[in-house]
Structures are given as structure tokens and as C-alpha cells.
Amino acid sequence: MKKVASLLIVAVMLIAPAVFAENALYPFDVKLNGETAKTKGNNAIFATFSNSFPADASLEVAASGQVIVNIFPSDKAGNPVAGQAPAILLFQAPKSSLAKTMDGKKLASGTYLANVVAESKTSRIVFDIK
């Protein structure tokens, strides 16, 4: 009986960190024009929005320090379009705009996958530009 109890305690200790850990695939919130991206299910590899946004939408992260955003044209499933260079944003948290890309080009209408990096963590979002 003691052996079973010991094994049960060890099992709980091993599983608990995974259960209570933050979502490693979406470690901090990202907002576009005030709307927070939402993940769908525990196994989602990115968060999405219910609305489409203008190319100059505000971008806000729930993080601090330097933020790097790589924005790739993609399909609705978050698969980047092959051969397309990303648009890049660099800014100090918490806010910026999608219009402030390093090359100064506006995002065209379509679907995008963005890797938002801050505090050595990455939140992935998929969004639509109208």
C-alpha cells in the first residue's frame, strides 16, 4: 500500500507542473484594435481573432521590454505562404501599430500568421487584414 501511495505522489508531482504551467504556445496576450486573440482548445498552436482589421490596426502585448513581430502571409490554418518575406515590427512594449513595419509597407488584404516575441517567449497569432 505504501508503494502505491508513493507512486501516486510521484505521478502527481510529475504531472502538476504541466497542468498548471502557462500555455507555452500563447504565453502572453496579444490585442489588435483592443480585441484579445483567443486560443481554441488546449492544443491550439496559435490564437485567432473574431474580426478583420485595417492595415494600421493598433497592436498591444501583455509583456514588457523589446518586442519583435514577424508577420507572414498565410492561409486560415496558419500555414505561411511559401517564398514570401515577413514584415517585421520592432517596438518597446506594450503598444505599436501594424503600419510601423521596418520596410514601411502596408500589409495587403489577406490572412497573416505573426510570431510575437517578448520576454524570451513567443505568442503566435493568425489575423485578417481587410
- The domains of the chain are located at 25-129
pLDDT in tens, 110-125: 999 999 999 999 999 9
Topology (CATH level 3) of domain 25-129: Immunoglobulin-like (2.60.40)
The C-alpha cell at 89 is 515590427
Phi–psi pair at 67, nearest 5 degrees: -125, 135
The pTM for the full model equals 0.82
Judging by beta carbons within 10 Å of its beta carbon (0-12, 13-18, 19+), is residue 12 exposed, middle or buried?
Answer: exposed
pLDDT in tens, 54-106: 999 999 999 999 999 999 999 999 999 999 999 999 999 999 999 999 999 99
Q: Read off the DSSP letter of residue 107.
A: P
Judging by beta carbons within 10 Å of its beta carbon (0-12, 13-18, 19+), is residue 59 exposed, middle or buried?
Answer: buried
Distances (CA, A) of 46 to 19, 96, 125: 19, 20, 5
**3-class state of residue 126 by DSSP:** strand
